[in-house]
Chains A and B, each alone.
Chain A
């Protein structure tokens, strides 16, 4: 993974010193909250319902054991013994005191981490496919480009005060596991017919109150033009993006109001001025960054298949876990492992300090010291020899993280919701927990097959409900929680925004509603191979409305 050079160390150290001084002046009453707020946000510090919240950047979701151990240490020393992995591959602590944040940031800097640009109207943490560098279907590793974008965008003087926040995601495979079409800029790393690397460029995707699927404005951008082209997009946005209305300030609104063709024309015109400037990436620079992401030396371990076969005979639960949480690696002797942070009835994305330390140990022993955070709020060990899968499984069982539910109905994304968040209108986590308990049976989950439920506690959609196969949005109506259901959303290479299905459900009704939707699907699917999303796309909302609302749906 990327290692800080001297410049990076100095830069982060200087920022820690600067922000520590700002915190101290704030605590001493020398600066007002109105002055301090934009400063703390640029350093990842929010105020939530019960306490401050610190959001720590995990660039493209890549962590090493030393960093994970530091997060465990911070959780234990300064917080309440756990952290929350987010849909932007970051980690949040929900209880730090403002007065401790300078010390926390200094500790983070010692392991090459920080919280810069995890909030504010700037370019946020660049996210990527969590199986980057490991997936069998990958054309090239997207992380070097994410890192180049990170370096370029960090305190970029021109793009630190954008009309609104800005999110970039990169994938290097045809199968989109980074949800690039729901980002302000989505980059799909691919090869052209001459075998050269470049990007399909998508712009203007996003969720929130106005969900939109990104538009492709370029089918192939040569890799050396990455920064000049992205700069051109940013310039058009920075110039024409709305600053008069927060709710219309994202680039998706600009693209929508301008029209894709005209927006694209403006970008190309800007790019014509920038293309042959210092922003062109020299081959040597790309290679230098790529070197940091060189894959580990994966020695042949052909005994893996036999080891897995034998271990399966011994343990059905191991077999279940292999079937569900083990992903095909580009090397046949290896696998990528999903560590589910979605135990039945647990809080999606939460991980305790001792679990973090244990995962760091496992990664060191069996996974070439690499850990990833997925936007689906799980952790990933990208390179594990198949021969070691049983040992990894046993170690995960010890810490209660061997739930075999990756991509199943209990692998739910949920934002912190009203249990923590000052913006939320309704709780998300208890809804996720109830659904998880209702569908606890693995046999039932596997019969249902791939089904992604995503839950947000407000219209800002941190829980990605718009792209859930079943999306749930919590709202407040007459002082009570109400949950609106959307169906047919998807955040992959065939991204779609879910359809609102009808009137909402109370907290005591929502799990029953989900069960009705699932039962309806099971009744109408052509066969076991027709997944929920495919069935929904085939039949549309009518049968589901009928199941949920009966005669009422026909009258509507």
Chain B
């Protein structure tokens, strides 16, 4: 399973592509591609968003669904989704209802 992610052009904020076609600041609402055609569709959306200067460092990342929650496989992506592990007051984890 994969989700589409990137960093927003204006401020570098990590964002994920959502089921309703928006780039969200939280991973929770990301669209999860569960098969090859879905992955290809998201990849194409990512390429277009990069070309349209909306996001950069666009990537498809591996995730698991654990109790309905999207959890990236790599620590790198878990840190991107939450914020620095050494400063819980920074990043998405510091915002109400965000992070893990």
Contacts and interface: CB of A to CB of B under 8 A. Distances in A.
> Do chains A and B interact in one complex?
yes
Interface of A: 26-27, 29, 32-33, 47-52, 80, 95, 97-99, 347, 418-420, 422, 424-427, 429-430, 433, 476, 479-481
Nearest to A46: B12
Contacts of A420: 84
A98 B11 contact: yes
Given A425-B76, A476-B75, 18 more contacts: A26-B53, A33-B50, A33-B56, A47-B56, A49-B80, A50-B12, A50-B13, A50-B14, A50-B91, A51-B11, A98-B10, A418-B75, A419-B87, A420-B84, A427-B86, A429-B86, A476-B74, A476-B76
Nearest to A100: B11
Nearest to B53: A29
19 contacts: A27-B9, A27-B10, A32-B53, A33-B9, A33-B50, A47-B12, A50-B14, A50-B80, A50-B91, A52-B12, A80-B90, A419-B85, A425-B76, A427-B86, A429-B86, A430-B86, A476-B74, A476-B76, A479-B74
A27 B10 CA distance: 7
Given A29-B53, A47-B57, A427-B85, A481 B10 contact: no
Interface string B75-89: 110011001111100
B96 interface: no
Nearest to B52: A29
Interface in B48-99: 50-53, 56-57, 73-76, 79-80, 83-87, 90-91
Contact of A419 (B7, B51, B73, B79): B79
A29 to B, nearest CB: 4
Contact of A430 (B10, B14, B85, B90): B85
Interface residues of B, number: 26
Given A27-B9, A29-B52, A49 B14 contact: yes
A48 B12 contact: yes
Q: A-B pairs with the 8 shortest C-beta distances? A: A97-B11, A419-B84, A51-B12, A52-B12, A29-B53, A429-B86, A49-B80, A33-B56
A32 B51 CA distance: 8
A516 B27 CA distance: 41
Interface of B: 7, 9-14, 50-53, 56-57, 73-76, 79-80, 83-87, 90-91
A80 B86 CA distance: 14
A418 B11 CA distance: 20
B70 to A, nearest CB: 17
A481 B75 contact: yes
| Most central of A50, A422, A426 by chain B CB within 10 Å | A50
Contacts of A29: 52-53
Contacts of A52: 11-12
| Most central of B73, B76, B80, B85 by chain A CB within 10 Å | B76
Contacts of B12: 47-48, 50-52, 97-98
Contacts of B84: 50, 419-420, 429
A419 B93 CA distance: 13
A480 B75 contact: yes
A240 B13 CA distance: 40
A433 B75 contact: no
A208 to B, nearest CB: 20
Contact of B79 (A32, A49, A347): A49
A424 B84 CA distance: 13
B73 to A, nearest CB: 6
B26 to A, nearest CB: 13
A99 B83 contact: no
A487 B56 CA distance: 39
Contacts of A425: 76
A480 B74 CA distance: 8
A406 to B, nearest CB: 22
B14 A33 contact: no
Nearest to B77: A49
A51 B13 contact: yes
Contacts of B13: 50-51
B53 A418 contact: no
A51 B80 CA distance: 10
A152 to B, nearest CB: 33
Contacts of B14: 49-50
A425 B79 CA distance: 12
A479 B83 contact: no
Given A98-B10, A479-B75, A50 B83 contact: yes
Nearest to B11: A97
